[in-house]
Amino acid sequence: MVVAIFFITVIMWGGMYCFGVFFKPLGSEFGWTSTQTSLAFSLFMVVYGLFLIIAGKINDSFGPRIVMTICGFFFGVGYLLMSRINALWQFYIIYGVILAIGMSGTIVPLLSTITRWFVKKRSLMTGICAAGVGVGTMIIPPIASWLISTSGWRHSFIIIGSVSLVLIITLSQLLKRDPSDITQSPYDTDQADKIIVQMQAKGFSLRQVVWTSQFWILSVAFFGFGFYLQSVMVHIVPHAINMGISPIKAAIIITFIGGGSTAGRVIMGATAGRIGNKLATIISFILITFAAYILILSKEVWMFYLFAFIFGFSYGGLQIMGSLLVADLFGLRAHGLILGVVTFIFTIGSGTGPLVASYIFDLSGSYHTFLLVFFAIGVTGSVLISLLKSATDFT
């Protein structure tokens, strides 16, 4: 289960974070403004967020195999179709809708599934599975950048789409929703752990959860995180190029983010198992605030790389905490659905951030003013998470 989820995550998130690499080639070829190009990503995040709720509900009822098979098909075919675009409306439909539907099979169904398979090592194994995001970010965008420079962006889309289609659908056949499906208990459980599992399995429904302050505090914090995260992932390469960094060195920033996020997911996942998910989340928000401060000062390539690693480490930690905090606060009864709604709110922030950044850049020709927003988001997130209760009595 862990290996299959890890490699699916590598492929899908690595493919998603190629957007920043394709950003300037697409804009240059078709004459699109930064705002026009970013709008496709914003549409992608909104559609992705909506379908996350659907994917989470289907996963709760039928399991991840059917969800990931369908999503893998949409993801692979979406990238193949991207190689044929010739107009802005085609870009919006293919990237903003088809690829978004495919991508909806990632965080919620996969992390909700792994949450059901572990108790003692839940945080660590969630971190290992989610580390695929960082590994994919390290590997696939640089390959795509090399392919673009040697064969053009259309050929790059064909290769990414073909590989994704075959591997995701194949790996999806290994997935099962719950250990009880094969008459097992969650891995490495003793009698005390079984009591915890039974309590969490009761949990709360989405209807009960949306009336709690806990849900909205968590959702607002992750809205800000999404706003910050995807603004960076879409605009950090163009920003670095505007600051005089060469395109090849600028693309390596994404690799540093990927490396940092891989370390962050594993280390913060292991740390959360010792200090608790709430404190681990606060630490991650503090680190992402410090990263924003470094980015404000960055003018040379080494500063961008330092920012990238710290940012990646902190965002890697935050990305795994959503699933863990939902389990802590609301149980496993409707875990996929609740996580889907929280993640949808996260994607609203993710879709808004890059669009606002593009609008500000088109008006001013600079991202500097927008960078101050990142610092404020980190501080606000730290405060909000500190207000959460550490656990909920599911009984």
Q: What is the CA radius of gyration of the chain?
A: 20
pLDDT at residue 169 is higher than 90? yes
pLDDT at residue 192 is higher than 60? no
Over residues 74-97, the mean pLDDT reads 91
Output the average pLDDT for the chain.
83
**Contact indicator for 136, 275 with CB cutoff of 8 Å:** no
State how far the Cα of 58 lies from the Cα of 149, in Å rounded to an integer: 41
18-77 pLDDT, tens digit each: 877 787 788 778 888 877 887 888 788 788 888 888 887 888 778 888 989 999 999 999
Report the CATH architecture of 2-179+192-386: Up-down Bundle (1.20)
CA 185 from centroid of its chain's CA atoms: 29
pLDDT at residue 273 is higher than 70? yes
pLDDT at residue 313 is higher than 90? yes
pLDDT at residue 157 is higher than 50? yes
With tokens 């208990």, the residue in question is: 185
The residue that leads in pLDDT, 241 or 283, is 283
State how far the Cα of 223 lies from the Cα of 353, in Å rounded to an integer: 10
pLDDT at residue 348 is higher than 90? no
Residue closest to 343 by CA, chosen among 210, 211, 223 = 223
Residue closest to 123 by CA, chosen among 310, 8, 267, 6 = 267
User: DSSP for 94-112?
Assistant: IIIIIHHHHHTTSHHHHHH
pLDDT of residue 195: 46
For the whole prediction, is pTM greater than 0.85?
no
Three-class SS state of 322: helix
% of the chain beyond a pLDDT of 70: 91
User: Where residue 144 falls among pLDDT bands split at 50, 70, 90?
Assistant: confident
pLDDT at residue 314 is higher than 50? yes
CA 248 from centroid of its chain's CA atoms: 24
How many CB atoms lie under 10 A from the CB of residue 89? 10
List the chain domain ranges.
2-179+192-386
pLDDT at residue 221 is higher than 90? yes
User: Where residue 369 falls among pLDDT bands split at 50, 70, 90?
Assistant: confident
Over residues 87-114, the mean pLDDT reads 87
Residue closest to 172 by CA, chosen among 67, 78, 80, 255 = 67
User: Where residue 181 falls among pLDDT bands split at 50, 70, 90?
Assistant: low
pLDDT of residue 238: 81
| Phi, psi angle pair for 118, to nearest 5° | -140, 150
pLDDT at residue 334 is higher than 80? no
pLDDT of residue 132: 83
pLDDT at residue 126 is higher than 50? yes
The residue that leads in pLDDT, 110 or 287, is 287
